[in-house]
């Protein structure tokens, strides 16, 4: 059987991709598994995103938001149901963490129900209260606010030195 993952390529998104990202993210949001994203927010934060593509089919997406000095957040990470457990989530996390290092970030966190996935990527669980208050801005848009039941996961990074950047 062909290795489907080798056919997957990662690339940044364009405005034409926004409806596809909205379908992917909001499909999971209607199941209560992720925060919904309006088209407005997706256009606004499009430059934070990477997409995983099988030809012209968007099979995954994820973003890195800059939160504070040295702190970033993984947001809107999703892989189409039929493409899960093929390493695509890992590919996107590796890409976004590399991006974070290039930007000089020391830590990246996620608020998630997918603890096992993030643990396998090297994240560890922390108390949500230990994160800076700045992070809660995004939560105001969440239907579950203020009764968040997601787990905070964080990873420490060693930022690239000047001249070492990749991607």
Ligand X SMILES: CC(C)(COP(=O)(O)OP(=O)(O)OC[C@H]1O[C@@H](n2cnc3c(N)ncnc32)[C@H](O)[C@@H]1OP(=O)(O)O)[C@@H](O)C(=O)NCCC(=O)NCCS
Contacts 24+ apart (CB under 8 A), 23-30: 24/58, 24/60, 24/61, 24/78, 24/80, 25/61, 25/76, 25/78, 27/78, 28/78
CA distance 53 to 156: 28
Binding segment (CB under 6 A) for ligand X, from list 41-49, 82-90, 101-109, 131-139: 82-90
Q: Is 102 in the site for ligand X (CB under 6 A)?
A: no
CA distances from 105 to 44, 134, 154 (A): 21, 16, 12
| Nearer to ligand X among residue 106 and residue 115 (C-beta) | 115
Residues 4, 7, 23, 33: which binds ligand X (CB under 6 A)? Answer: 33
What is the smallest separation between the CB atom of 15 and ligand X, expressed in angstroms? Answer: 23
Q: Is 86 in the site for ligand X (CB under 6 A)?
A: yes
Q: How far is the CB of 154 from ligand X (least distance, A)?
A: 13
Helices (H), 51-139: 88-103, 115-120
Contact by Cβ (8 Å): 146, 40: no
User: How far apart are CB 70 and ligand X at their closest, in Å?
Assistant: 21
Secondary structure letter of residue 102 according to DSSP: H
Contact 91, 53 (CB under 8 A): no
CA distances from 84 to 4, 53, 78 (A): 11, 13, 9
- Residue 107 or residue 112: which is nearer to ligand X going by CB? 112
x/- map, 59-78, ligand X, by CB under 6 A: ------------------xx
Q: Does 90 interact with ligand X (rule: CB under 6 A)?
A: yes
117 scored as a contact of ligand X (CB under 6 A):
yes
Q: How far is the CB of 155 from ligand X (least distance, A)?
A: 13
Which residues of the shown chain bind ligand X in the complex (CB under 6 A)?
A: 28, 33-34, 77-79, 84-90, 110, 112-114, 116-117, 120
């Amino acid at each position: 059987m062909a290795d489907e993952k080798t056919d997957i390529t990662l690339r940044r998104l364009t405005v034409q991709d926004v409806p596809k990202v909205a379908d992917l993210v909001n499909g999971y949001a209607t199941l209560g598994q992720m925060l919904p994203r309006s088209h407005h927010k997706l256009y606004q934060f499009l430059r934070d995103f990477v997409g995983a593509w099988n030809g012209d089919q968007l099979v995954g997406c994820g973003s890195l938001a800059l939160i504070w000095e040295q702190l970033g957040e993984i947001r809107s990470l999703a892989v189409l149901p039929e493409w899960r457990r093929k390493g695509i989530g890992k590919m996107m996390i590796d890409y976004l963490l590399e991006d974070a290092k290039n930007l000089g970030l020391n830590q990246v966190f996620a608020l998630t129900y997918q603890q096992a996935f993030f643990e396998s990527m090297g994240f560890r669980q922390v108390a949500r209260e230990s994160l800076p208050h700045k992070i809660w801005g995004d939560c105001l848009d969440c239907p579950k606010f203020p009764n968040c039941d997601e787990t905070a996961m964080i990873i420490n990074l060693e930022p690239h030195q000047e001249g070492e950047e990749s991607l």
